[in-house]
Amino acid sequence: MASVTLKNVCKTYISKKNEEVKAVRDLNLEVRDGEFMCLLGPSGCGKSSSMRMIVGLEETTSGDIFIGNRKVNELSPRDRNVAMSFETYALYTHLTVRENILFPLRAKKIPEIEQMNRLEQVVNMLEIGDLLDRGPSQLSGGQQQRISLARALIREPEVFLLDEPLSHLDVTLRTSTRAQIKHLHDELKTTFIYVTHDQLEAISLADRIAVMNFAVLQQVGTREELLDYPINKFVADFIGEPAINFFECTLIEDNGTSTLKSNKGTLEFKVPQKWNSRLVAHGSKHYTLGIRPHDIHVEKSPDTTAITGVVDVFEFLGEENHVTAQIDGDVLTVVVSPYQFYTVGEKVNFYVPNGRVHIFDTETGECVSTAYKLEDKE
Ligand code: ADP
Ligand code: MG
């Protein structure tokens, strides 16, 4: 087991047209020993490039990578003790499953006895005993994925990298394989770095999540930290299901109190006193109010702001129900309990806890209220 540290890591490719593609910009990230870290972000944001630099398939343009205390920039992939399982399984079609799994050990000339011991271990862990004599073409997608995991695991790496390992699986297999990966980590306690563009996957697997966008690391935190203290609008929007509600507003100051007034509709939100001076000091007039669908209630309680809406869509989903309501020009999505039902056209009062909203500078996207809360936390 080992930690992985990236210091000021940059990757710039030169495209065929001889233009620079900045795939990773100044990435600083510390993955703790034994941690399950998810690298999350939209397609093209630099996740795979980061992984390829860690495993050694790609050189860094600048910056340093450490595995434990060892700087590995100059080491070849085989000397880094990092294994990677890819989005495409890349199994050798002319070899059996057994030969595929043993391949990395045979290449390293590990003694036969040791090979068999390790094979037995990964076979038991991944429950693939009955597949060993088949060829890769005789396997389903999920089985191929498990063999690919087995081939990476048998090397007993200090760090295990998984790049979108579930993206080619259908929904049912994705859920069961995801559970198996989580179980593997619990058992091995090896450092895992797992790439995905799917926030639900990240949320269900990771100890901490590193969110990237446009080659830049945005924020690293636990699921709760990212949900409750997003650093900017991008993170607030990317994490959370259903997505956070945004209202573009203008700040109206009046005698020491401030109100955010929706630019589109009639929604008004009185800024809590503790954020007032911060917003005034920030100096902007244009803010985006963010309210998470799970934070809104239909029962009245103290220190809330009431919003009246007309139900536009009601979705019965079983574990929770979703209501989409029109608020005079704005749209609000609310999560309600499975026992609450609404009909389209119905008028409903919603209550927003004043301290649970997020206020963003509309122009820069920076979260102004979260910054305040973080200072508050210390
Ligand atoms: P992700 O895994 O997040 O989808 P990648 O790391 O694969 O992102 O790619 C990041 C950016 O770098 C993209 O714009 C991609 O087109 C570009 N890129 C990746 N590999 C190469 C390459 N070998 N040559 C040129 N550009 C590349
Ligand atoms: Mg990728």
Residue 92 belongs to domain with CATH number: 3.40.50.300
Q: Indicate which residue's Cα is closest to atom 11 of ligand 1.
A: 23
The ligand with the least distance to the CA atom of 167 is 2
Q: Is residue 18 within 6 Å of ligand 1 at its C-beta?
A: no
Q: Indicate which residue's Cα is closest to atom 15 of ligand 1.
A: 44
pLDDT at 88: 63
Q: Is residue 47 within 6 Å of ligand 1 at its C-beta?
A: yes
- The tens-digit pLDDT sequence of the chain (378 residues) is 799 999 999 999 999 999 999 999 999 999 999 999 999 999 999 999 999 999 999 999 999 999 999 999 999 988 899 988 866 667 899 999 999 999 989 988 999 999 999 999 889 888 899 999 999 999 988 888 889 888 988 988 999 999 998 887 778 878 888 888 898 899 889 999 999 999 999 999 999 999 999 999 999 999 999 999 999 999 999 999 999 999 999 999 988 889 999 999 899 999 988 888 888 889 999 999 999 999 999 999 999 999 999 999 999 998 999 999 999 889 999 999 999 999 999 999 999 999 899 999 999 999 998 755 555 554
Pair 270, 144 in one domain:
no
Q: Tally helices (H) and strands (E) across the chain.
A: 10, 19
Q: Is residue 48 within 6 Å of ligand 1 at its C-beta?
A: yes
pLDDT at 265: 87
Pair 141, 263 in one domain:
no
Q: Which residues contact 239 (CB under 8 A, 6 or more apart)?
A: 40, 199, 203, 209, 211, 223, 226, 227, 230
| Angle CA 299–303–308, to nearest 5 | 50
pLDDT at 376: 54
The ligand with the least distance to the CA atom of 10 is 1
Of the residues 13, 15, 24, 39, which should be mutated to test ligand 1's pocket, given the most ligand atoms within 8 Å of the CB? 13
Pair 285, 183 in one domain:
no
Q: How many domains does the chain have?
A: 2
pLDDT at 373: 56
Pair 10, 135 in one domain:
yes
Last residue of a domain, one of 231, 251, 284: 231
Q: Which atom of ligand 1 is nearest to the CA of 43?
A: 4
Rounded to whole angstroms, how far apart are CA atoms 68 and 81? 11
Rounded to whole angstroms, how far apart are CA atoms 338 and 327? 23
Pair 219, 250 in one domain:
no
Pair 27, 171 in one domain:
yes
Pair 227, 335 in one domain:
no
DSSP letters along 190-201, please?
-EEEEEES-HHH
How far from 73 is each of 7, 103, 176, 272, CA to CA, in Å? 11, 25, 36, 49
Q: Which atom of ligand 1 is nearest to the CA of 11?
A: 12
List the shell of residues around ion ligand 2, using CB closer than 5 Å.
48
CA of 44 to the centre of ligand 2 (A): 7
Q: Is residue 118 within 6 Å of ligand 1 at its C-beta?
A: no
Q: Indicate which residue's Cα is closest to atom 22 of ligand 1.
A: 13
Q: Indicate which residue's Cα is closest to atom 14 of ligand 1.
A: 44
Pair 251, 182 in one domain:
no
CA of 326 to the centre of ligand 2 (A): 38
Query: Torsion angle, CA of 177/179/180/184, rounded to 10 degrees?
Result: 140
Last residue of a domain, one of 174, 198, 231: 231
CA of 4 to the centre of ligand 1 (A): 22
CA of 49 to the centre of ligand 1 (A): 6
Pair 43, 149 in one domain:
yes
Rounded to whole angstroms, how far apart are CA atoms 53 and 39? 14
The ligand with the least distance to the CA atom of 47 is 1
For residue 250, what are the domain limits? 236-377
The CATH number of residue 363's host domain is 2.40.50.140
pLDDT at 378: 42
Report whether 294 contacts 223 (CB < 8 A). Answer: no
Pair 253, 116 in one domain:
no
Q: Write down the pTM of the prediction.
A: 0.92
Q: Is residue 255 within 6 Å of ligand 1 at its C-beta?
A: no
Q: Is residue 86 within 6 Å of ligand 1 at its C-beta?
A: no
CA of 196 to the centre of ligand 2 (A): 8
pLDDT at 371: 58
CA of 48 to the centre of ligand 2 (A): 4
Q: Is residue 244 within 6 Å of ligand 1 at its C-beta?
A: no
| Angle CA 318–240–39, to nearest 5 | 125
Pair 77, 33 in one domain:
yes
Last residue of a domain, one of 205, 231, 257: 231
Report whether 213 contacts 234 (CB < 8 A). Answer: yes
Pair 151, 36 in one domain:
yes
